[in-house]
Amino acid sequence: PGRVRVHHLKNMKERGERITMLTAYDAVTARIFDEAGIDTLLVGDSISDNMLGYSSTIPVTVDEMIPAVRAVSRATQRALVIADLPFGSYEASPQQAHATAVRMLKEAGAHAVKFEGGAHLAGHVELLTRAGIPVVGHLGFTPQSENVLGGKRVQGRGEQAEILVEDAIALQDAGAIMVVLEMVPAPLAERISEVLSIPTIGIGAGNACDGQVLVWTDMAGMTNWSPRFAKQFGQVGAELYAAARAYKYEVGEGSFPAAEHSYQE
Ligand code: KIV
Ligand code: NA
């Protein structure tokens, strides 16, 4: 079918077709999501707490993310692959963002990058876009700033709403191809989606965004804990547990491997 490209996503918004995004961190899951027709795969810095055992997104490094981005890029044929720029790898200057983003495309095969922040990063978005690197914005609750924001809280309430709208417009004007809206009131996300000509991708941002994203482990029911906005579309964790238990049992009682799993000569 060919690779999903930036202009396809914009066309989808214009046609009112919802865009799907999931996180992916390895080739095994990326291949499944790609075959399932998920339009865009995000190698999120959520790899930090979801896969690497850290307690937040803060510790993960570019060097730790590159192999994951490479695996997802190699395993997909259709999905547009977006690499998150992790904490500390882009904020200081547009040049720093450019250097990190170049690694994500050149060394790891990503098609676009994403980083957190609004109007103050317009210069970053502009430089990368001019350099040929599509940028996805991320507004609302931005996990890398959780120490400033005071925890995982809904953003854009009250007079904060106008700032969020301005941030979204600033990112679009700077050349961003899409904006993720995380944990913002549904009516505000709807308004931003109407104001912008580029697609909005919601997570905890209601049903009026141009697309949706979920962390795949939340989506598939791999974890006991998941936030209000993360519907479990499967119980993969329970299935995997059951498979491991059945394997342990059959090895323990000696029924596995049976004759058909063995070589007789
Ligand atoms: O890292 C991540 O998983 C994300 C999504 C939740 C948007 O940034
Ligand atoms: Na992220």
| CA dihedral sign of residues 197, 198, 199, 200 | negative
The pLDDT of 208-222, averaged and rounded, is: 97
Between CA 114 and CA 223, with CA 56 as vertex, the angle to 5 degrees is: 95
Q: Pick from 38, 42, 54, 58 the residue to mutate for probing ligand 1's pocket: most ligand atoms within 8 Å of its CB.
A: 42
Given a cut of 80, whether residue 14 has pLDDT beyond it is yes
For residue 251, report the distance from its CA to the centre of ligand 2, in Å: 40
Q: What is the chain's alpha carbon radius of gyration, rounded to the nearest angstrom?
A: 20
pLDDT score for 223: 85
The ipTM, to two decimals, is 0.99
CB 165 within 8 A of CB 187: no
The CATH classification number of 6-219 equals 3.20.20.60
Q: What residues contact 54, with CB distance under 8 A and at least 6 apart?
A: 48, 60
Q: Does the annotation count 14 as an active-site position?
A: no
Confidence of residue 109 (pLDDT cuts 50, 70, 90): very high
pLDDT score for 224: 79
CB 96 within 8 A of CB 90: yes
